[in-house]
Structure 1
Amino acid sequence: MKNRLILSFVLLLCILQARATHIVGGQLFITENKNSAYNYKIGLTMYFDALNGNPGAEDDVVYIYVFRKRDNASVGYVSAPKIERKNVTYTNPQCGISLTETIMITYASDVLLESSVFNDPGGYYMVWDRCCRNAAITNIKSPGTAGSLFYLEFPPIVKNSTSFSNSSPVFPAIQGDYACVNSPFFFNFGGTDADGDSLAYRLMTPLQGYSTQDRPSVQAIGSSSYPTLTWIDGITNANIIPGPQPLTVDAKTGMLSVTPGNLGLYVFAVQVDEFRNGVKIGTLTRDFQLKVVDCPKMSPPKILFKPKGSSTFYNSNQIITVKDGDPNCFEVMVTDPTINDLIKIQGHAINQTNDYFSLFPVEYATTVANDTMRVQVCLDECFITYDNRPIRIELIAQDQSCPIPLMDTLVIYIRRESSGNNAPVVTTSLQTDYVHVVAGTAVSFTVFGKDSDTDSLSLSGAGENFTLSSKSMIFKTVSGKTSVQSGFSWVPPCNALEGDTIKVDFTAEDLRCAGSGLKTSKTIYFIVDQSPNHPPAITTSLVQADVSYILGASGGITFQVKAIDPDTNTILLSASGRGFQLNALGITFENKTGTGQLISDFTWFPDCAIMNGDTSHSFTVDFVARDKSCTASLDTISVTISLSDLEAKSEIDLPNVITPNGDGKNDCLILDELPTGSCNDQFKDVTIFNRWGKQIYYSRDKTKNWCPNDISGGYYYYVIKYTKSTYKGGLTVLK
């Protein structure tokens, strides 16, 4: 059902009423659907007895009911259709003939769980309630009328207003194996968690629910304590399957183990609790049944090894030494007392990445009692013990016994001399292995790896009891053939303590035989010394720190600022205005970073807009030279710039006669010599009138002189206006 979880309950009176006899077990599940409109999948995995079950009891749809855990209030139900049906496999398929046949049926539906509904801090639970179980179950009372209830708790999807994602554990398909009376049996009931949550397992009494033989499929109800099955006399959770070793479960792995003492069909349940950061967030129950039968007596194979020159068989306290020039192969024997049994041989190295050995043959079929096969174990070129530590190999002989194979294991310790493969060497560009460093000062060098056999090799670095990245050390692992190199760099942090010695190991590993351990390391010792830091100094090219400037003066204000640091630390040269931004006033100054010496130019062309109506104004600029050492030393110099306005004149000086005769003398009225004016009384325009008051000249540009070449001589008047002042006068033009 792809829909919201149905929030209204409907009496499901028309559900199939056939008794689901021979329900073997199963569990519920809830899985997050990432990036989907239907954010969760809810379903049921159910195991059904295909030999004795009622085919009519196999539902096409199951109804899973959801309740709020705090008060058992109903939240809704999910209608989950059948999406998969398949036979359960066996560890050894030929062992399952006519004894058991189990079908795994999966029901599931995608649903939308809304955060406005599923936000209760106490969480929720879901149940599936159905009758009935196998009538042949040995360890409970009235098994044929006992119902099955599967249970699963899950957390809210929102916690503290934050989305909380979770999926229930995932379990591999249960195998349909049976156990043999008085024989050890192991059964993996463990799962994995997609969210990385930890899982804990414990045996429990299976839940029965409220379904009955007369009402095999009922509408589930919420409860804090569902009914459980009733054990027969003498059975408890401590001996659900009684015997020399009653049924137990590993609390961490979920591995079941039992040595049953009696024939029968035994039902059991395991509670799986889900923890995140030490807090329980979910739980579910898993039911199943285990059949215990009387099996033919089977004996395991036996694997033996007699070292060359020895009259006795090998035991694990010995170390076999293979010298250079010795044969690469040796022989082990495998015997089996059973006729017509298939024996398979496998082996692997325990304390080495690769096996570097082979077996031949790897299987054989016995034809007589105690038949014997001789197996060749051949060591490859890379099966070498470089550090004198023996390699541990494990050889396993396994037969085809039912219900699970029987096996024998032989562990052999082998020390094999080198075949001439030489270890690589490590060198550095340093003069010594001891490097004196100071906090804040960079250190760098090159590390080299070389292999005299021209093998491929890798070069890596590692701190002693720390990672390089944790101390901001930079060294890239490299690989190559014959020779490789990589650069190391580090700026010791300010918290590096004087007198500390920090060790870094650089390792070159031979890659001819992966995992062989043939490597060489060189240790570099970094000794932290006291930092001899000197503070930077800052100067300017000014004669004095105070600058006076009259607005309108040519050239503007320019000078240089210099920062000097005798150390190798990085220094920063910067400037800032007191109460103003430099660029807002049109000041140009570039902040600079570098080492040794930094120079930057200060440039400013102030204008009247800066004065804001005042006749004078002062601006102070602070220049700072700061080093980036651990002590963060600095030097500061301040420059105060005083701006003043031009003093306005009370009168102007113009000639009263001009003679425009072309002789170059007194030909024009010189206007560009008029006063510039101040910020508050600036030049506006000049107007010239004839004697009758007619305007004959007008200009707003005082740089343009008046040269009356095209007018007649006579007496003329002028009016010169400033922002606040007006000057009037007369002059005679003689021609």
Structure 2
Amino acid sequence: MKHRYHLLFLCLLCLTFTVHVQATHIVGGELRLTHLEGAKYELSMFLYFDDFYGNPGAEDAAVDVGIYSKATHQLVDRVTLKRDESKQVVYVNPVCVRSDLRTRQIRYTERLQLSPSKYNDPAGYYVSWERCCRNTHIVNLFLPGGTGMTFYMEFPAVYDKPQHRDVVNSSPEFAIPYGEYACVGEYFSFDFSATDPDGDELRYRMATPKWGHTDQFYPFLSEPQPAPYRPVQWEQGYDSAAAILGRPTLAIDSLTGRMQVSPSQPGLYLYSIICEEYRDGQFIGLVQRDFQLLVLDCPRNDAPLMQLSTASREKGGAGPLYRPGDTLDIFPWQSPCFDVFLTDNDFLERVTVTAEAVNFEPVTSLTSQSSFLLTGAGDTATFQVCGPDCNNPRGIYQVNLYAADDGCPLPKVDTLTLYFRLSAEENQAPVLAVDAPEYGERTLLRYIGDEIVFRLDGTDADQNRLVLSGRGIGFSFEDYGMQFTPVEGQGAVSTEFRWQPDCSLLLGERREFEMVFTLQDDPCFVRAIDTLRVHLMLSDRISEVANFEPPNVFSPNGDGRNDAYTIPTLPIDNCISQFSFMEVYNRWGKLVYRTESRDIRWDGAELPAGVYFYFIRFTDQAYRGSITLLR
């Protein structure tokens, strides 16, 4: 009988040792409740498994969680969650992956009904799951290998009895944490925030992890157990407000959920965060997440360094270095771009530069290049950063430059905050002139049918960029076939106005045209303008026909005097009366000369002396008479 007792003791000892080895695999995790529709919900548990030290055989295929009344701690439901997903926790910088730091997220889930007739206690409810044990390598817990854990969440009633209304709520949802590690003496910051599907307000605080009812001897519970859950026992010098010692100690921003620490000692540390949920200022629920952070003695990694030359790019970038807090003046004649010198003392590090325009919208990229591979001390890369241009009003503008290396575990970053002041100098107005002799009276008189051409010249003593434009007052150039091309240029511009009006204008009422030509410079902030008005008056030519008498004799005898018949006094054409043709007949009515040109020249070739008869035709009248040809 004694031998049997010894055998039973050895079997229990072996069983205990086996359970202990298989159970020290949990990094942390949390619970989540998601509303689907109506009374349908999905209850999930996210467990973070140590994929390096953990035994895959320790993964549970299913877990049992209990839902309890906060008012009475009575069990309301027991729910079995089945494992349905497993994926690796990723690194921000894949280059920094460590073989001994591998964490896997395992999700357990089940859909359930939360009936309003059952879940209507105004005090609300809590969900819990217990398991042992924690990672034996944790340095801020007393006997971590024998310390259990409790995942814990609170949620409100799904029916508000006093208000007689349904309450729809999903718990806050933590994102998958990144798998980075921290370095001793180095500042480390990471996002530990959650989101809320209902838009409820979230607040964060450090907490002591819950131990619960399990230990190395009883790592499982046959039945879920209600609160209270005993807290873990911290090692001396540690607590929820100082889970990782350093300057600063591990802390979380209560509003953003961003965590920071500059650890003073290496090791594997456990910490816990509670995310509280508020609706209309009232607390309605919370989720507690446990997690671990590995702190190592890391090789030294220097941050990159950016320095800016205060001389603008157009001056070669050679000038004093920018001092933080100074302001860079940008004048109208100056390029808004400056040289930045980038260095990093570490060997073969890639540095990525990003720029942020704080109070203006950049038109183009603020930097000329964004990625650099530096070989170490003595290697310098140069890139450009550009401030605001003249599309922005006068004032002071801020640009933040960030240079991040690819060091581990997280990039080292240098920040350079730049202030640009768009400054204005006295701006002389440009000058616009019209190249037309009679323009001194501001009016141009032209006849219909003549081509109207004049040049506009614009100059600027400041050599600013110029824009020369024009328009008609009460009409458009295009409607009348006027040709004018607006121009732009630096310091001086020139363009032409060209138009040949025809007699169709007489069909309308407009005979006068007022045109405005504008020359505008384009410096920063203070633009100057010169404007010219051109008054164009059109009229039909006056044809003197009342006293028109063509010559009546010529002598084509070769003596060089009056050898051809011409009509210098032929009435001019206008829109009403226009020359059509001239014909000459002999005394027997035979046509001996005809022309449709106003440039009349009849030489009487081989015709005998005598009297001939002319017929001159205009569109509105005709002239007849005789011509004597003398030999």
Please say whether Structure 1 and Structure 2 have the same fold, judged by a TM-score greater than 0.5.
Answer: yes
Equivalent residue for 2:346, pick from 323, 326, 338? 338
**Which residue in 1 is equivalent to 2:175?**
172
Separation of aligned partners in 2, 1:230 and 1:143: 9
> C-alpha offsets along residues 607-647 of structure 1, whole Å, 9 cap, x if unaligned?
xxxxxxxxxxxxxxxxxxxxxxxxxxxxxxxxxxxxxxxxx
Contact 1:338 1:370 (8 Å CA) reproduced: no
Counterpart code for 2:115: E
The CA deviation at 1:378 is 4.3
Q: Cα distance, 1:386 vs. partner?
A: 3.7
Contact map agreement 1:139 1:240 (CA 8 A) in 2 = yes
Q: Pick the aligned partner of 1:400 from 406, 409, 412.
A: 406
Distance change in 2, residues 1:453/1:52 (3 Å):
farther
CA distance in 1 between counterparts of 2:137 and 2:525 reads 58
Q: Is the 8 A contact 2:394 2:525 kept in 1?
A: no
Match of 2:284 among 281, 284, 294: 281
| Alignment partners' CA distance in 2, 1:281 and 1:453 | 67
Equivalent in the alignment of 1:458: none
Q: Distance in 2 between matches of 1:86 and 1:355?
A: 42
Matched, 1:364 2:367: no
Instruction: Decide whether aligned partners of structure 1 residues 81 and 374 sit closer, same or farther in structure 2, where only a CA change above 3 A counts.
Output: same
The correspondence for 1:27, drawn from 30, 36, 42, is 30
Q: Separation in 2 of the partners of 1:224 and 1:278? A: 26
Q: In 2, Cα distance between the equivalents of 1:41 and 1:403?
A: 36
**Residue 320 of structure 1 aligns to which amino acid in structure 2?**
L
CA distance in 1, matches of 2:110, 2:378: 56
SS of equivalent to 2:210? coil
For 1:297, the aligned partner's letter is: R
Match of 1:271 in 2: 274
* Conserved? CA contact 1:67–1:222, under 8 Å: no
What CA distance in whole angstroms lies between the structure 2 residues aligned with 1:59 and 1:383?
62
Displacement after TM superposition at 1:69 (Å) = 0.9
Q: State the Cα deviation string for residues 346-393 of structure 1 (Å, max 9, x = none).
A: 1020112446433222111112324210002246xx733643212211
For 2:199 and 2:33, locate their aligned partners in 1 and report how far apart those are by CA, in whole Å. Answer: 15
Q: Are residue 231 (structure 1) and residue 237 (structure 2) matched?
A: no
Is residue 2:192 matched to residue 1:186? Answer: no
Give SS of 1:359's match: coil
- 2:421 pairs with 415, 419, 424, which one? 415
1:247 to 219, 242, 250: 250
Question: SS at the partner of 2:195?
Answer: coil
Q: Which amino acid aligns with 2:352?
A: K
Shift of residue 102 of structure 1? 0.5
- Given that 1:386 and 1:417 are in contact with CA atoms closer than 8 Å, whether structure 2 keeps it comes out as no
Aligned partners of 1:80, 1:190: CA distance in 2, in Å? 25
Structure with greater helix share of residues: 2
Shift in Å, 1:184? 1.0
Structure 2 counterpart of 1:88: 89
Distance 1:378-1:271 versus aligned 2 partners, 3 A rule: closer
CA distance in 2, matches of 1:257, 1:327: 41
1:386 and 1:299 map into 2 onto residues whose CA distance is: 38
Contact 1:395 1:409 in 2 (8 A): yes
Other-structure match for 1:688: none
Match in the other structure for 2:102? 101
Aligned to 2:46, what secondary structure does the other structure show? Answer: strand
Which residue matches 1:299?
302
1:530 corresponds to which residue?
Answer: none
Residue 396 (structure 2) aligns with: 390
Asked whether the 8 Å contact 2:351–2:371 carries over to 1, the reply is yes
Alpha-carbon distance between aligned partners in 1 of 2:325 and 2:206, rounded to the nearest angstrom: 40
After the TM superposition, which residues 522-537 of structure 1 pair with which residues of structure 2 at under 5 Å, given as runs? none
Q: Which deviates further from its counterpart, 266-275 or 382-391?
A: 382-391
Amino acid at match of 2:413: M
Q: What secondary structure sits across from 2:118 in the alignment?
A: coil
Q: TM-score, with normalisation over the residues of structure 2?
A: 0.61
- TM-superposition CA deviations, 1:167-226 (whole Å, max 9, x none): 111111101111101111112111111212111211111001112223322145443421
1:259 corresponding residue in structure 2:
262
Unaligned runs of at least 5 residues, structure 2: 1-17, 428-466, 470-523, 527-631
User: How high is the sequence identity, in percent, across the aligned residues?
Assistant: 35
CA 384–218 in structure 1, closer or farther in 2 if over 3 Å, else same: farther
**Aligned partners of 1:178, 1:332: CA distance in 2, in Å?**
32
Distance 2:218 2:321 in 1: 67
* Aligned residue in 2 for 1:317: 325
Amino acid at match of 1:177: E
* Count of aligned pairs: 407
Per-residue Cα deviation, 1:33-84 (whole angstroms, up to 9, x for no partner): 036xx61110101111100001111112121211111101111122111222
Report deviation, 1:162.
0.5
Q: What is the rounded CA distance, in whole Å, between the counterparts of 1:235 and 1:156 in structure 2? A: 36
Distance 1:17 1:260 in 2: 33
Aligned partner letter, 2:67: V
Q: Of 171, 194, 199, which aligns to 1:196?
A: 199
Structure 1 contact 128–220 (Cα < 8 Å) conserved = no
1:104–1:383 distance in 2 versus 1, CA, 3 Å: farther
**Per the alignment, do residues 145 and 376 of structure 1 end up closer, same or farther by CA in structure 2, a change over 3 Å counting?**
same
| CA deviation map 1:8-56 (0-9, x unaligned) | xxxxxxxx97843220011000011036xx6111010111110000111
Superposition deviation, residue 136 in structure 1 = 0.8
Instruction: Give 1:415 shift.
Output: 3.0
Distance 1:30 1:409 in 2: 41
Aligned to 1:119: 120
Structure 1 residues 17 and 73 mapped into 2: Cα distance closer, same or farther (>3 Å)?
Answer: farther
Question: 1:667-682 residue pairs with structure 2 within 5 A?
Answer: none
Answer yes or no: is the 8 Å Cα contact 1:397–1:408 preserved in 2.
yes
Paired residues of 1:133 and 1:144 also in contact (CA < 8 A): yes
The CA deviation string for residues 577-607 of structure 1, in whole angstroms up to 9 with x for no partner, is xxxxxxxxxxxxxxxxxxxxxxxxxxxxxxx
Q: 2: distance between equivalents of 1:228 and 1:113?
A: 29
Backbone CA RMSD of aligned residues: 2.6
Partner of 2:156: 155
Deviations 1:104-152 (Å, cap 9, x if unpaired)?
Answer: 1111111111111111111111001111110111011111121110000
SS at match of 1:56: helix
Task: Mark the CA change 1:371 to 1:319 in structure 2 (over 3 Å): closer, same or farther.
Answer: same
Q: Once the 2 structures are TM-superposed, how far is the Cα of residue 99 of structure 1 from its aligned partner?
A: 3.8
Q: Secondary structure at the match of 1:59?
A: coil
For residues 51 and 396 of structure 1, what CA distance do their matches in structure 2 show? 35
Q: Aligned in 2, Cα 1:177/1:355: closer, same or farther, shift over 3 Å? A: farther
Cα contact 1:385–1:415 (8 A) shared by 2: no
Unaligned runs of at least 5 residues, structure 1:
1-15, 421-451, 455-515, 519-735
- Which residue pairs with 2:212 in the alignment? 209
Residue 575 (structure 1) aligns with: none
Change (3 A) 1:365 1:199: same
Q: CA deviation at 1:156?
A: 0.4
2: distance between equivalents of 1:197 and 1:286? 18
Alpha-carbon distance in structure 2 between the residues aligned to 1:212 and 1:368: 52
Residues 385 and 416 of structure 1 are in contact (CA less than 8 Å); yes or no, is this contact kept in structure 2?
A: no
SS at match of 1:94: helix
CA distance in 2 between partners of 1:287 and 1:370 (Å): 45
Aligned to 1:55: 56
Tell me if the contact between 1:49 and 1:101 (Cα under 8 Å) persists in the aligned partners: yes
Whether contact under 8 Å (2:203, 2:255) holds in the other structure is yes
Assess if the C-alpha contact under 8 Å between 2:424 and 2:525 holds in 1: no
In 2: Cα distance, 1:417 partner to 1:148 partner: 64
Structure 2: distance between partners of 1:355 and 1:231: 56
